[in-house]
Amino acid sequence: MDRRTFIASAAGAAAALLPSAAKAFPERQLRIIVPNAAGGGTDINARLIARTLEKITKQTLPVMNVVGGGTSIGARQVRDSAPDGHTILFIHHALLAASAMGVADFPPMALDVVAQTGEENYVMMVGRESTLRNFSDAVEAARKAPDTLRFGVQIGALNHFTALRLANQFDVRFRYVNTGGGGPTRNALLGNHLDIAFATVGEVGSFVKSGELRLLTIFSGERVAAFPDLTTAAEQGFPIELALKYWWWLPKGVPEDRRQYWTGHLAQAFKDEELLQRFRSLEIAPKVVVGAAAAEEVASQFAEMERLAKTFGLR
């Protein structure tokens, strides 16, 4: 390949990211639906990305919070919207959990997953007085005294499904305490009303540094900068990775060029150093996965959650 051919090929590859039809799109106001309350982690994440997309696309991108039904109301609104690419959904595993539990009366595959942009690894945490020192201790405690180790979860949420996955994998039984979201769960641990719980890395930094909470492990492929001395579950002999993943979804039937409008611009947004720095400060890994790979991951995760829901009688 001579130099002119190489340049032409490179130009063609770049053009594929941002399709020519994008000049005629959007024809009206774009909007991002977040099926969670304003001010929460998902909402903050969406707004950070939206502001970066606005710089790139020169379009306003309002974030609309549509709350209720375990995220199913906002998801249904996107599912039923016109398949023209103007309305897009941003949500994490909660949509999969709602479907697996039967809270949503449609599977996540009723929408078209566009991309994954970011994930937050789970850590297992305990109170400062806990005698548990690592993940193996937690497994052994649950094995020796079934249904006594108090595990703080939000019933039907990802942390609940993740705890069920561990229980199923290691043939142990936890005593689940429905503590709700991150704040109440931390408070329950601080008040010694729980024995263990999950959190994302960004949720617990200040509490760990103050010594109020301790971390037993992180379920990631490698250690993280926030806790460089915290060994991964794999390092402790349990090769498990658990993370909260964020996905973008369109209604079924959106033309491919408009789908590429979103995938191309999302990929471009995650080259923006300001956005990457904000993600780093929030301990969100800026992992971008598009197309078939994203769809396969969703299908795999959902199949696992459906299996767990049936195994543990959640629907």
Whole-angstrom CA distances from 154 to 151, 157, 178, 184, 269 are 10, 5, 5, 10, 32
The Cα–Cα gap between 246 and 293 comes to: 14
Peptide bond into 26 cis (omega under 30): yes
pLDDT of residue 23: 53
Nearest Cα to Cα of residue 312 among 95, 71, 101, 104: 101
Helix axes 291-311 and 94-101, enclosed angle (nearest 10): 40
23-27, 75-79, 124-128, 310-314, range with the lowest pLDDT: 23-27
The pLDDT tens digits for 136-177 are 999 999 999 999 999 999 998 999 999 999 999 999 999 999
The pLDDT tens digits for 273-301 are 999 999 999 999 999 999 899 999 999 99
Residue 15 scores a pLDDT above 90 = no
Helix axes 41-57 and 273-281, enclosed angle (nearest 10): 170
The Cα–Cα gap between 281 and 213 comes to: 20
pLDDT of residue 180: 83
In our burial notation (b when 16+ CB lie closer than 10 A, e otherwise), range 196-211 reads: bbbbbbbbbeebbeee
Residue 262 scores a pLDDT above 90 = yes
Helix axes 182-190 and 201-209, enclosed angle (nearest 10): 30
pLDDT of residue 7: 32
Residue 247 scores a pLDDT above 80 = yes
DSSP 22: G
CB-count exposure of residue 66 (10 Å: 0-12, 13-18, 19+): middle
Q: Under 8 Å CB-to-CB from 277, ≥6 apart: which residues? A: none
The pLDDT tens digits for 89-110 are 999 999 999 999 999 999 999 9
3-17, 45-59, 70-84, 293-307, range with the lowest pLDDT: 3-17
Which amino acid, one-letter code, is at 220?
Answer: S
The Cα–Cα gap between 61 and 54 comes to: 6
- 92 and 245 Cβ atoms separated by less than 8 Å: yes
The pLDDT tens digits for 23-63 are 589 999 999 999 999 998 899 999 999 999 999 999 999 99
Whole-prediction pTM: 0.87
Nearest Cα to Cα of residue 226 among 191, 207, 254, 201: 201
Confidence of residue 183 (pLDDT cuts 50, 70, 90): confident
Beta-strand (E) ranges in 184-284? 196-200, 213-218, 243-251
Task: Quote the tokens at residue 196.
Answer: 């263990």
Domains and CATH numbers, the chain: 3-119+244-311 (3.40.190.150), 121-218 (3.40.190.10)
